[in-house]
Amino acid sequence: MTTTLATLARWVDDVARLTRPDAIHWCDGSDAEARSLEAAMRESGDLIALNPDSHPGCHLHRSHPSDVARVEHLTFVCTTDADDAGPNNHWMAPADAHAKIDALFDGCMQGRTLYVVPYCMGPIDSPLSRCGVEISDSPYVVANMRLMTRMGAAALARIEREGTFVRGLHSTGELDPARRFIMHFPEELTIKSFGSGYGGNALLGKKCHALRIASHQARQEGWLAEHMLIVGIRNPAGVTRYIAAAFPSACGKTNLAMLIPPKAYRDAGWEVFTIGDDICWMQPGADGRLYAINPEAGYFGVAPGTSAKTNPNALAMLDRNAIFTNVGLTADGQPWWDGLPGVPAFDWQGRPYDPANGPAAHANARFTVSARQCPSWSPEAENPHGVPIDAIVFGGRRESLVPLVFEARDWTHGVLVGAGMASETTAAATGAVGVVRRDPMAMKPFCGYNFAEYFAHWLSFDRPGAKLPKIFHVNWFRKGDDGAFLWPGFGDNMRVLEWILARCAGTAGADRTPIGAVPRAQDLNLDGLALPPAALDVLLEVDADGWREEMHAVGAYLASFGARVPQRLLDEAARVAGALGTAAAPA
């Protein structure tokens, strides 16, 4: 397989001259190709076959111990003007960045095969989808891209028809942390990644293309590329509505995407469908509504914390045709992490398991699997027109202050809620508890341009004829004086989603407060939930004093992005602050 597109053929030739591989392989995405690559990786030790009886078609990959996570401090957005990248990104001048990383690519594929990986982000025939080509010397990357994207001949055919694509060049190099960079060139629709084999740094269709480059494309073309799950909820009347939701890490994003409602809801006829668990592309339709696709075809999820209790749908899809990275291993060849039955025999580095060396599975151990294997997967994930979004939900981990749920006053207020969203850090992650870290729309590590202009882009969708989703904020993590969570979470989050959709339909009540509409106890379906009234009071309270401080902090955060912050957003922050009975937020 090769290509009829001259620009693609010329680029592959140029890269081959620079990297000097022993062979070039154009990936067609076929089953035969996948089996051949897997066999070669088993022989080289890059993959370990798992128990064929319990986990048929599954493999384990072990990363180099220095290469187990995204490297945000080595991730750059390279625009001509530094202000276009913004203070939310590390910046390097494009010419300097190309020179620095091309010097590392020089001759790096000698003794290796150069793989050309054409892929489509989104359904292959969707006008909302966008295509790319990743060149990599890692067969592990090829295997993962096959699961995570629509990869191969059909994608190449679309690229040849359209004549445009995002260019991604990747090499594992020597896996030397001192020679590791992930460079993004939004103005050139180009990504260059060197020195890492970890998914977030090496699977260039994922965060690099689908968020950092796509957010730039979306701004130019009038759509949104967001770090959001997409979930469908069918009520007992048979009507399905869709919600897009953004959460920072450790806030239950995948669990919400694959939610199983409480038994009483299931018995009444409620169903939940998964469209996507991580990335959402939204575009206005002819009717003024926002329509969303999940650009990914698979899940690249965190394994630790996934169990029959926390996410049975996720666990159910991991018993076949999956790739596990940096998990532990039982004596009979099954993957293992905390929360699973059994006992680990080997840790993620292949050593005999010893608790003195730490957990058997790395904290960022991953699974890669086709989305179609999820029991709650919906065929609407392949709808080329996308699904209509009724509500956008933001959320964070806040032990105090933020109510269980509230509804923004309008689109401008909703953008402010998203721009100011935050989570409190945990001791396990940072060594300090309760430090509020702002993460606008959960896009802090992923927005490919200046946040100030990103906020303006969001505001631009509020125009005549638009029928925009209502915007909400949730907080599953409110704690009581005893330090215990007040809300049960998991499947019971369905009770909050029901209120959200009822608000969209105009059938649920609420109290109007300065921060937005907050449900009263009688507005939530709490049947069968043993929740003390005092706990519910705390979950739904709005502390004016605390919110005055919060809005001051949000205003100061917005002001940190300088003169490009839209005045409309600053005015909205001042309006909310004023409604709370305080002076205007910083301008």
How does residue 426 score in pLDDT terms, banded at 50, 70 and 90? low
CA dihedral sign of residues 26, 27, 28, 31: positive
CA distance 298 to 104: 31
Residue 563: DSSP 8-state:
G
Question: Is residue 432 exposed (0-12), middle (13-18) or buried (19+ Cβ within 10 Å)?
Answer: exposed
Backbone angles phi, psi at 25, to 5 degrees: -125, 120
Residue 353: DSSP 8-state:
P
- Active-site positions read 251
Q: Is 366 annotated as a binding residue?
A: yes
Q: Please write the tens of the pLDDT for every residue from 240-253.
A: 999 999 999 878 89
Q: Is 108 annotated as a binding residue?
A: no
- Specify the pLDDT at position 436: 86
- Specify the pLDDT at position 434: 67
**Mean pLDDT for all residues in the chain:** 95
Element (H, E) at 226: strand 224-226
Q: Is the pLDDT of residue 584 over 50?
A: no
Q: Is the pLDDT of residue 390 over 50?
A: yes
- Specify the pLDDT at position 435: 82
Beta bridge partners of 328: 336
Domain 226-297+380-531: state its class. alpha beta
Q: Is the pLDDT of residue 270 over 70?
A: yes
Is the domain spanning 6-59+69-220 CATH 3.40.449.10? The answer is yes
Residue 310 tokens read as 């926390």
Q: Is 207 annotated as a binding residue?
A: yes
Q: Please write the tens of the pLDDT for every residue from 365-386.
A: 999 999 999 999 999 999 999 9
- Specify the pLDDT at position 23: 98
Q: Please write the tens of the pLDDT for every residue from 448-501.
A: 999 999 999 999 999 999 999 999 999 999 999 999 999 999 999 999 999 999
- Specify the pLDDT at position 427: 40
Q: Is the pLDDT of residue 410 over 90?
A: yes
How does residue 431 score in pLDDT terms, banded at 50, 70 and 90? very low
Residue 265 contacts residue 484 (beta carbons within 8 Å): no
For 184, 188, 211, 311, the CA distances from 91, given in Å and listed in that order, are 9, 15, 17, 38
Q: At what angle do helices 31-44 and 139-148 cross, to 10 degrees?
A: 140
For the chain, the structural domain boundaries read 6-59+69-220, 226-297+380-531, 301-363
Examine domains 6-59+69-220 and 301-363 and report if their fold is the same.
no
Quick one: three-class SS letters along 408-440? Answer: CCCHHHHHHHHHCCEEECCHHHHCCCCCEEECH
Q: What is the mean pLDDT of residues 496-517?
A: 98
Element (H, E) at 190: strand 190-194
Q: Is the pLDDT of residue 586 over 50?
A: no
Q: Is 491 annotated as a binding residue?
A: yes
Q: Is 67 annotated as a binding residue?
A: no
Q: Is 227 annotated as a binding residue?
A: yes
Q: Please write the tens of the pLDDT for every residue from 298-311.
A: 999 999 989 999 99
Q: Please write the tens of the pLDDT for every residue from 82-122.
A: 999 999 999 999 999 999 999 999 999 999 999 999 999 99
Q: Decide the pairing of beta strands 290-293 and 387-395.
A: antiparallel
The residue ranges of DSSP E strands in 277-381, in sequence order, are 280-284, 290-293, 298-302, 323-325, 328-330, 335-336, 344-346, 366-370
Q: Is the pLDDT of residue 342 over 50?
A: yes
Q: Is 152 annotated as a binding residue?
A: no
Residue 206 contacts residue 166 (beta carbons within 8 Å): no
- Specify the pLDDT at position 559: 95
The CATH number given to 301-363 is 2.170.8.10
* Residue 139: strand, helix, or coil: helix
Residue 38 contacts residue 127 (beta carbons within 8 Å): no
How does residue 188 score in pLDDT terms, banded at 50, 70 and 90? very high
Q: What is the mean pLDDT of residues 187-198?
A: 98
Q: Is 527 annotated as a binding residue?
A: no
Q: What is the mean pLDDT of residues 547-563?
A: 96
- Specify the pLDDT at position 557: 97
Q: Is the pLDDT of residue 158 over 70?
A: yes
Residue 440 contacts residue 420 (beta carbons within 8 Å): yes
* b/e code 183-192 from CB counts within 10 Å (16+ = b): bbbbeebbbb
Residue 269: DSSP 8-state:
T
Q: Is 397 annotated as a binding residue?
A: yes
Q: What is the mean pLDDT of residues 502-506?
A: 98
Q: Is 107 annotated as a binding residue?
A: no
CA dihedral sign of residues 206, 207, 212, 218: positive
- Specify the pLDDT at position 583: 36
- Specify the pLDDT at position 208: 98
In the chain, % of residues over pLDDT 90: 94
Element (H, E) at 535: helix 533-540
Q: Is the pLDDT of residue 331 over 80?
A: yes
- Count CA atoms within 13 Å of residue 60 on its CB side: 26
Q: Is 89 annotated as a binding residue?
A: no
